[in-house]
């Protein structure tokens, strides 16, 4: 089955893309793998790679072996200068000012892949151009980031889902990933030095992707709060994080903040639980709706939400995870996911409402986790 984009314009080449449904699922192996879609605006001047079996020169013969060429993402105003205003918002151009690096006949529809530091992501599709490799005539590509909502809507409507998505979400939640790490979270303790500095004891670096529901809330590429994935379209976090719809992004499948996450999804809407103005707040809670559904993988899955009638008691052993500081005076957060096991204590805290959990340690200690 072929589904053409409803917005495709044969004259301007806007929305030049189509989705193909295969007759049977692909079997992944060391030579066959899917690629993630680039979800955020493309950085200008980033070097990316075009691959295909097209001609290696204008009007030349096709090739039998896969070829690749590195091209540079060019600014929209430069592209429009070269193409007299024909570059629309759903397109971008890439190449070199002096020419010599370009897709060619037979490469149409092929991928332009950009390296994030840990993997490649699909940023564009070969669409059109003038000649091949000409100076001041870079290749023009369909911008995938502009079309991700349509892609996921079509895949959902036509049951175009990955094998991981076929499992009922409630059955999948809370599944930790197997790991060969030789350490496990220890019990938490507080340490106070002679100068009054308070730190958390027994904090351990988590095994990579052992907590696949952990997400990083980011603004302008910087982590500022954490959250948990409870549905492929929803993240739960603290209201005091003040997540901004249409501005912030949610990074999923991330362990080390110094590297790109496996998925970065813009925030669509934020729903805050009403507050009564008390402090500490009785309900410090926000629901964050993702602009597109999360894609489940070995690095991304859901955490279970307790049933309404479930009660937390002192038999529960809980783990806090995040990239927050491990000292109250610490300014730098950890780059890695840290985990701390916490036992709920049967003590009553007079200043805490019934909706908040009571623990012996300082309430503010991990406010930014």
Question: Can you give the pLDDT at residue 18?
Answer: 94
Domain boundary among 135, 157, 179: 157
**DSSP H helices in the chain:** 76-82, 148-157, 169-172
What is the residue-wise DSSP string for 168-217?
-HHHHTT-PPP---S--PPBPEEEE-TT--EEEES-EEPPTTSSTTEEEE
Examine residue 352 and state whether it is found in any structural domain, yes or no: no
* 190 and 200 Cβ atoms separated by less than 8 Å: yes
Nearest residue to 245 via CA among 269, 273, 218, 216: 269
The answer to whether residues 49 and 59 touch, using CB atoms and an 8 Å cutoff, is no
- CA–CA gap between residue 36 and residue 18 (Å, rounded): 17
Q: Which two structure tokens, joined as six digits, stand for 158?
A: 């036509």
Give the C-alpha separation, 109 to 321, whole Å. 42
Report yes or no on whether pTM surpasses 0.95: no
Does residue 15 sit in the same domain as residue 72?
yes
- What is the number of structural domains in the chain? 2
**Judgement on whether residues 18 and 103 belong to the same structural domain of the protein:** yes
Which percentage of the chain shows pLDDT scores above 90?
A: 39
Same domain as 9, residue 145: yes
The per-residue pLDDT for range 67-118, each reduced to its tens digit, is 999 999 999 999 999 999 999 999 999 998 889 999 999 999 999 999 887 7
Rg, C-alpha atoms of the chain? 24
Does residue 366 belong to any structural domain of this protein? no
Q: Is the dihedral of CA 340, 230, 28, 336 positive or negative?
A: negative
Report pLDDT for 260: 72
User: Is residue 111 located within the same domain as residue 7?
Assistant: yes
Residues 335 and 193 in one domain: yes
Same domain, 121 and 227: no
Question: Cα(230)–Cα(213) distance, rounded to whole angstroms?
Answer: 8
Q: In terms of domains, do 257 and 338 share one?
A: yes
DSSP assigned state of 258: T
**What does the pLDDT read at residue 135?**
92
Whether 155 and 21 have beta carbons less than 8 Å apart is answered as no
Please check whether residues 214 and 302 belong to one and the same domain: yes
Checking phi first, is residue 12 left (phi over 0); if not, alpha (psi -120 to 50) or beta?
Answer: alpha
Q: What phi and psi, each to the nearest 5 degrees, are found at residue 113?
A: -110, 135
Concatenate the DSSP letters of all residues of 92-114 into one string: EEEE-TT------TT-TT-EEEE
Q: Has residue 197 got a pLDDT over 70?
A: no
- Identify the top-confidence range among 20-24, 139-143, 276-280, 339-343: 139-143
Asked if residue 153 and residue 22 are part of one domain, the reply reads yes
> Within a domain: residue 368?
no
Distance CA 250, CA 77 (A): 29
Residue with tokens 């927050």: 324
Task: List Cβ neighbours of 113 (8 Å cut-off, separation of 6 or more).
Answer: 35, 48, 49, 50, 51, 120, 121, 122, 123
Phi, psi (5° rounding) for residue 79? -60, -45
CA dihedral sign, ordered 254, 256, 257, 261: negative
Q: 117: domain range? A: 2-157
- Residue 85 falls within a domain, yes or no? yes
Residues 124-149, mean pLDDT to the nearest whole number: 92
Scan for tokens 């805050």, then name that residue: 272
Tell me the C-alpha to C-alpha distance, in Å, between residue 235 and each of 210, 239, 256, 285.
18, 12, 20, 11
User: Does the residue 326 lie in any domain?
Assistant: yes
- Considering the domain architecture, whether residues 117 and 196 belong to the same structural domain is answered as no
Percent of the chain scoring above 70 in pLDDT: 70
Whether the CB-CB separation of 207 and 214 falls below 8 Å is answered with: no
Strands 222-231 and 214-219: antiparallel
Pairing between strand 47-52 and 67-73? antiparallel
The top-scoring range by mean pLDDT among 183-187, 206-210, 347-351 is 206-210
- Asked if 216 and 292 sit in the same domain, the reply is yes
Q: Which helix (H) or strand (E) holds 47?
A: strand 47-52
**Nearest-5° angle of CA 209, CA 233, CA 212?**
10
Does residue 163 belong to any structural domain of this protein? no
Residue at 101 is within a domain: yes
Q: Which residue has the higher pLDDT, 51 or 325?
A: 51
Do both 197 and 336 map to the same domain? yes
Q: DSSP assignment, residue 239?
A: G
Q: Is there a domain that residue 173 lies in?
A: no
Contact 7, 15 (CB under 8 A): yes
Q: Is 37 in contact with 252 (CB distance < 8 Å)?
A: no
Average pLDDT of the segment spanning 148-159: 75
CATH label of the domain that carries residue 234: 2.40.10.10
DSSP per-residue letters across 321-349: EES--SBTT--SPPSB-EEEEEE--S---
């Amino acid at each position: 089955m072929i589904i053409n984009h409803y917005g495709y314009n044969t004259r301007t080449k806007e929305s030049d893309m189509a989705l193909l449904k295969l007759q049977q699922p692909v079997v992944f192996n060391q030579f066959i793998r899917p690629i993630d879609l680039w979800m955020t605006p493309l950085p200008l001047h980033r070097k990316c790679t075009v691959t295909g079996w097209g001609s290696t020169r204008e009007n030349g013969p096709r090739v039998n072996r896969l070829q690749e060429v590195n091209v540079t993402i060019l600014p929209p105003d430069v592209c429009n200068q070269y193409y007299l205003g024909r570059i629309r918002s759903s397109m971008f151009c890439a190449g070199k000012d002096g020419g010599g690096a370009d897709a060619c006949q037979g490469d149409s529809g092929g991928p332009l892949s950009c390296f994030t530091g840990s993997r490649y992501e699909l940023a564009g599709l070969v669409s059109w151009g003038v000649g091949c490799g000409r100076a001041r005539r870079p290749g023009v590509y369909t911008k995938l980031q502009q079309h991700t909502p349509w892609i996921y809507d079509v895949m959902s409507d036509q049951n175009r889902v990955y094998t991981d998505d076929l499992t009922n979400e409630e059955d999948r939640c809370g599944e930790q990933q197997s790991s060969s790490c030789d350490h496990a979270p220890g019990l938490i303790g507080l340490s106070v030095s002679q100068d009054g500095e308070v730190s958390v004891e027994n904090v351990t670096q988590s095994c990579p992707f052992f907590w696949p529901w952990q997400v990083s809330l980011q603004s302008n590429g910087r982590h500022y709060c954490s959250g948990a994935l409870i549905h492929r379209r929803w993240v739960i976090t603290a209201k005091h994080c003040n997540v901004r719809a249409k501005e912030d992004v949610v990074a999923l499948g991330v362990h080390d903040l110094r590297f790109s996450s496996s998925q970065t999804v813009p925030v669509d809407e934020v729903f805050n639980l009403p507050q009564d103005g008390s402090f500490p707040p009785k309900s410090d809670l926000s629901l964050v709706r993702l602009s597109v559904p999360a894609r489940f993988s070995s690095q991304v899955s859901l955490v279970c939400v307790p049933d309404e009638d479930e009660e937390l008691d002192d038999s529960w052993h809980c783990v806090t995870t995040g990239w927050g500081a491990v000292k109250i005076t610490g300014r730098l957060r950890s780059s890695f996911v840290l985990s701390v096991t916490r036992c709920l204590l049967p003590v009553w805290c007079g200043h805490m409402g019934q909706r908040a959990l009571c623990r012996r340690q300082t309430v503010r200690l991990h406010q930014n986790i």
